[in-house]
Amino acid sequence: MGSKPFVVAGIPAYNEERSIARVIVKAMNYVDRVIVYDDGSTDMTGEIAERLGAEVIRHERNLGYGAALASLFRRAREADADVLVVLDADGQHNPDDIPRLVKPVLDGESDIVCGSRFLSEENDMPSYRRWGINRITKLVSFTFQGRSFSFLEGRGWEDSRKIKIRWNRIDAYD
């Protein structure tokens, strides 16, 4: 990275006109650019984002979260971003956490950081949902032959540099 890293916030959004402004405005306090992926919204999501100065990528119809992430990753790569932070448009992710999330990447300690609201004892998730996520975590752990990975705790592979990507599906959404 150069003298000052170029940090981008990517926000996948679908019909989030009620919350998108707050997320964008707060994120702009910590990043150099905000990119909103408007996934076929039928409300004012994209227009609000543009008015606030965010770059907006639009798809004519809703293609889903995976396509949104793929488009955001591609655009961040094209923009030569040093760091991409992905935030939910509904405000579930607090943009004030951006400095804590990017610090390990900027310090060269990690290639990827996953934040988790479940690390805190205080969260508003219903118990049935927590139970379901625990079951999915066990399934994924079994699938990956017992390697530790927790969707609830944000724990995963100790060093992301050990992850080997065998198939790049990012370009499947062009």
Residue 121 lies in a domain: no
Q: What is the pLDDT of residues 118-154, one digit of tens each?
A: 555 556 667 777 777 777 666 655 554 444 443 333 4
Alpha helices (H) in 92-155, listed in sequence order = 98-106, 127-143
Q: What is the pLDDT of residues 25-50, one digit of tens each?
A: 999 999 999 999 999 999 999 999 99
Residue 15 lies in a domain: yes
Predicted pLDDT at 124 = 63
Residue 36 lies in a domain: yes
Q: Residue 39 is encoded by which pair of tokens?
A: 């996934």
Measure the CA angle with vertex 43, ends 124 and 125; round to 5°: 10
Q: Are 68 and 137 in contact (CB under 8 A)?
A: no
pLDDT > 90? residue 19: yes
DSSP state of 155: B
Cα R_g (the chain), whole angstroms: 17
Predicted pLDDT at 149 = 40
Residue 51 lies in a domain: yes
Residue 110's nearest CA partner among 76, 153, 148, 161 is 161
Residue 66 lies in a domain: yes
Q: Beta strand pairing status for 55-59 and 33-39?
A: parallel
Query: What's the domain range around 103?
Result: 7-114
Residue 170's nearest CA partner among 84, 89, 44, 74 is 74
What CATH number does the domain containing 98 carry? 3.90.550.10
Residue 126 lies in a domain: no
Measure the CA angle with vertex 139, ends 65 and 148; round to 5°: 95
Q: Residue 88 is encoded by which pair of tokens?
A: 């939910």
Q: Cβ neighbours of residue 13 under 8 Å, at least 6 residues apart?
A: 20, 36, 37, 38, 39, 41, 45, 46, 49, 68, 89
Q: What is the pLDDT of residues 47-88, one digit of tens each?
A: 999 999 999 999 889 988 888 888 999 999 999 999 999 999
Residue 142 lies in a domain: no
Largest distance between two CA atoms of the chain: 48
The average confidence (pLDDT) of the chain is 78
Predicted pLDDT at 95 = 94
Residue 26 lies in a domain: yes
Q: Structurally, how many domains does the chain consist of? A: 1
Q: Are 98 and 85 in contact (CB under 8 A)?
A: yes
Q: What is the pLDDT of residues 103-114, one digit of tens each?
A: 988 988 888 777
